[in-house]
Structure 1
Amino acid sequence: MDRRIEKSRQAIMDAFTKLMLEKDFEKITINEIAELANVNRGTVYSHYVDIFDLLNQCIENHLNKLFENCQPRGNDSSISGKDALCKTFNYLEQNAFFYSKMLMSKSITAFRNRLHALMVKSVEEQLDMNGITTDGNREIMVQYFASATIGVIEWWITNSMPYSSEYMAEQLLSLMERYQNVTAPLTRS
């Protein structure tokens, strides 16, 4: 992609993100985005269909970065579950303003839905990578872990991160391990 196009897209995305931190999504206009990004309205529309398209691409961009920064690459099983969770909480802490705004906004359900889909994918990959199988319904187990993890992340961010990212990773991992030990539905293949 042409550098100028990429630079314009990034400026628009940055301006939009900055405005999202300052005000509710419904009150942001394309004119404000263009002005802050130092581009004209037409440039915004040449990259995004409308403000909802910009929102969706912004969400996708942030969640892809979260996933890329926090997941092991390929068959790299040297990263433990705790390390992956620590990386996740560290990334969330570094980008707390964005994730806080997204999680606390009642009108932006697209973010929560995409986060949930990403978490489901992550849980499934962790189960596959670690060779974990279940005697019960795998789909229900994946949904349970994904929803519980999102709930813990949401609580942590919306309560101003009262514990360190390392502590949160340890606690979440401990809860997951206890679930396995208490219910015993998981066994190594």
Structure 2
Amino acid sequence: MDRRIGKTREAIFEAFISLMAEKNFEQITVNEIAARANVSRGTIYLHYVDKYDLLDQCIETQMEQLCESCLAGGEDAHIASGGALLRTAEYLERHAWVFTTLLNNKGVPAFRTRLHAILLQGLSEQIDMSGLNRGMNKEMLIQFLASAVVGVMEWWITHSMPYPANEMIEDILALMERNQMAPRPLDTVQ
């Protein structure tokens, strides 16, 4: 991508997120985004269909960057594994402003939904259905686990990350292991 295009898109994204930190998504106008980004309204429409497309692309970009960062661990190539969960929390911690804004804005459930979907996929690929999980409905178990992890991460982010990322993930994995639902043993967390 041309550097100028990248810089313009970054300015639009930053303006959009800063406006979302101030007001509800539904109240934000393309004119406000353009003014804050110091670009014309037409420039925004060159890159995005409307503010909903901008939101979708912002979330998708953030999720792609999150996944790239979290799955960079080689052998721990599932987002639901201990190491990948820790890298996820650390990435969220480093980019707290963006994710806090996305989660706190009442008009944006799409981010939470996307994170939930990624965890569902990771868990479905590696959940152990033997032992206590034998005979359980796998889909229901995966929904339960993904909802619990996303719920705790959402709480952690919206409450200004009161604990370090590694402590939160250790606690999540301990709870999962205590209930024999952990996708990977705790000793795989790095």
TM-score by length of 1: 0.82
Percent identity of the aligned residues?
49
Q: What letter is aligned with 2:91? A: Y
Cross-structure match for 2:185: none
Distance 1:166 1:138 in 2: 28
Structure 1 position 25 matched with structure 2 position 25: yes
Cross-structure match for 1:174: 174
Structure 1 position 41 matched with structure 2 position 41: yes
Cross-structure match for 2:94: 94
- Count of aligned pairs: 176
CA spacing shift, 1:40–1:67, aligned 2, 3 Å? same
Cross-structure match for 1:155: 155
Distance 2:54 2:156 in 1: 27
Q: What letter is aligned with 2:165? A: S
Following superposition, the deviation at residue 21 of structure 1 comes to 1.9
Q: What letter is aligned with 2:75? A: S
Distance 2:114 2:54 in 1: 15
Distance 1:20 1:27 in 2: 9
TM-score by length of 2: 0.82
Structure-to-structure mapping, 1:31-180, within 5 angstroms: 31-72=31-72, 76-77=74-75, 81-125=81-125, 127=126, 132-134=128-130, 135=134, 136-180=136-180
Structure 1: stretches of 5+ with no match in the other structure:
183-189
Following superposition, the deviation at residue 72 of structure 1 comes to 4.5
Report the RMSD for the aligned CA atoms in angstroms. Answer: 2.3
Distance 1:78 1:149 in 2: 18
Question: Any idea what the Cα deviations from partners look like across 1:127-182, whole Å, max 9, x if unmatched?
Answer: 17xxx344332211211111000111111112221211111011011111112179
CA spacing shift, 1:33–1:181, aligned 2, 3 Å? closer
Distance 1:99 1:3 in 2: 25
CA spacing shift, 1:44–1:171, aligned 2, 3 Å? same
Structure 2: stretches of 5+ with no match in the other structure:
183-190
Q: Which piece of structure 1 moves more, 84-93 or 147-156?
A: 84-93
Q: What letter is aligned with 1:47? A: H
Following superposition, the deviation at residue 20 of structure 1 comes to 1.5
Question: Any idea what the Cα deviations from partners look like across 1:10-39, whole Å, max 9, x if unmatched?
Answer: 221122112212322122221121122221
Following superposition, the deviation at residue 89 of structure 1 comes to 1.3
Q: Which piece of structure 1 moves more, 49-58 or 13-22?
A: 13-22
CA spacing shift, 1:181–1:28, aligned 2, 3 Å? closer
Structure 1 position 5 matched with structure 2 position 5: yes
Following superposition, the deviation at residue 123 of structure 1 comes to 2.1
